[in-house]
Structure 1
């Protein structure tokens, strides 16, 4: 089969379409003819040699796919050839074919294209895990979502809105419109405003109950100071680095804070299956009705994968970047 490949850690312009062995289908897996795959920061880090795939995963980039079932494993009875599916995989999405466990695959709703479906799995499962499983967000609580216009950010805004939370986001000013459209109430331009000051002013010095953060070191102190008593900080990435120079740990005690770090790709298959099932129960009908929707920044033909990666590296995207696989 054809797949997007790279020979060693490299810049985006070294990605190319080449020949790669077609994956073999396990007993409980399905082989998907991939029609669309979405980009993630993990793809960029893996390309740069900073994020190796989990043991046993395909070395080909790509964590979320949409396509049609081409073959089913010997113990698969849930799916048949021709079914339209989408889902999260540990790697191998930038290819003509990919395998996925039958319980990780979801049926593509009739109202979604392959490109729209591919934009859902990683962003929404990551956001759902952070907001529902880890933060246990409740109605009327305040939540601060950093990188609100990112793929996970746009998913998190919608999920928090369904729960009934009060939503504050950070994003560059030119991206605020989509966050507001999705339900964010307070919009902070991280380039010109101090988010802690806006948070405390907005909440009458109460603070927020939950922070969803991807930035890491540069935001850590202000995140802690922005949290209310019994607040929860969910750390999903460290885009600004991982080392905090000075921090008074007594704030954790006095405020009774929870600081939770989490990844999804390295989780066990059993964990990911349970998360997928929980997410489907919470959101599938809302997606099917259009109440919850993936936000797509741009769709690229997969031969233009270098441009797609560069757009994400330059933080130009609003929502997800998708590759159309031919």
Structure 2
């Protein structure tokens, strides 16, 4: 740590509000504790929870940095006591509890993964938050199996583009909703049947595409009136997994179809989970998904890259919802 600066560049949230409350700040460079590594950040991902935190609606969990940012990639520059896997100089990407919008960021060693073969740091930093989220919700909670039909809303978001690729490569039929012809074409290019929700009723389209069966697993980040419509679109024994509520978390719902179709309604958040849970997710991804990344069979879509100092512009783009894939920061 002797050759590292005492202070580092970061992005601070001046007060709860719009993108303009994000501003450059100098803060103390963190020191890794037991089981932690310190990463010199080359790139960091922008995720929807970052914007919610900025608005004051999603506070960091206890012990997490106030600096936003949930995924990074870079070089290990220091390791705390008890670290066995990583050494100074290793190139990694990592899921973090916060602190990604900065020159240096702490990560638990078990939440870091090697940069896949041939990946740039920007591409590597686009992986952790989205791939951890998709894996735990689609393949663990949703238990998606080969041959089943998977419906994902927000098909061109970072989560959506990841979910389409993984569900397709593991043998499922994928249907994705999106809000423009350009976005629908992007979903189709990734392997999904696309439904333009502004022009088509996704419930009717799912029924049509499945011969009346419906979707076995639905990944929803919309909420609101989609809660009832997802129940209508689900197949018998279907699983509906909620991970966000862009249109609100309350709705008037008829639960009779839940009983009659034996549906499972579930959901999860990732950030507050414990070290062991996240470590188990990292291990599952490394065993089952990282070989696909190394082979070039799956790759994150990058919409736009901003320098760290332009984090406010990156948040503005995120909130326009015009992006296709991930929005990134570089240092």
Under TM normalisation by the shorter chain, which class is it? over 0.9
In structure 2, what is the equivalent of residue 175 of structure 1? 183
- Over the aligned positions, Cα root-mean-square deviation in angstroms equals 0.9
Q: CA deviation at 1:14?
A: 2.4
The 5 A counterparts of 1:153-192 are 153-172=160-179, 173-184=181-192, 186-192=193-199
- Does structure 1 residue 14 correspond to structure 2 residue 21? yes
d(CA) in 2 for partners of 1:268 and 1:76? 18
| Corresponding position: 1:60 with 2:67 | yes
Q: TM-score, normalised by structure 1?
A: 0.97
- CA drift of 1:217 comes to 1.4
Give the secondary structure class of the aligned counterpart of 2:68.
coil
Which of 28, 36, 42 is residue 43 of structure 2 equivalent to? 36
- Give the deviation of 1:219 after TM superposition: 0.5
Once the two structures are TM-superposed, the CA of residue 163 in structure 1 deviates from its matched residue by 1.5
Task: Pick one of 36, 52, 77 that aligns with 1:45.
Answer: 52
Task: Output the CA distance in 2 between the equivalents of 1:82 and 1:64.
Answer: 19
Count of matched residue pairs: 323
CA shift, 1:181, in A, is 1.5
Shift of 1:200: 1.0
Is this contact kept in 2: 1:139–1:163, CA < 8 A? Answer: yes
The aligned counterpart of 1:303 is 309
Q: How does 1:1-326 map to 2 (within 5 A)?
A: 1-172=8-179, 173-184=181-192, 186-245=193-252, 247-325=253-331
How many Å separate the matches in 1 of 2:318 and 2:97? 20
Moved over 6 A (4+): none
CA distance in 2, matches of 1:150, 1:201: 24
- Residue by residue over 1:170-208, the C-alpha shift from the partner in whole angstroms, topping out at 9 and shown as x without a partner, is 012221222111111x21001111100111111121111
Q: Give how far 1:220 is off.
A: 1.0
Gap regions ≥5 residues in structure 1: none
Indicate if the aligned counterparts of 1:137 and 1:163 stay in contact, CA closer than 8 A. Answer: no
Alignment partners' CA distance in 1, 2:268 and 2:21: 31
Checking the alignment, whether the CA contact within 8 Å between 1:53 and 1:90 is kept in structure 2 is yes
TM (norm. structure 2) is: 0.96
For 1:102 and 1:262, the matched residues in 2 are separated by: 23
What are structure 2's unaligned runs of at least 5 residues?
1-7
**CA displacement at 1:279 relative to structure 2:** 1.1
Instruction: Give me the whole-angstrom Cα distance separating, in 1, the residues matched to 2:136 and 2:86.
Output: 26
Tell me the SS of whatever aligns to 1:4. Answer: strand
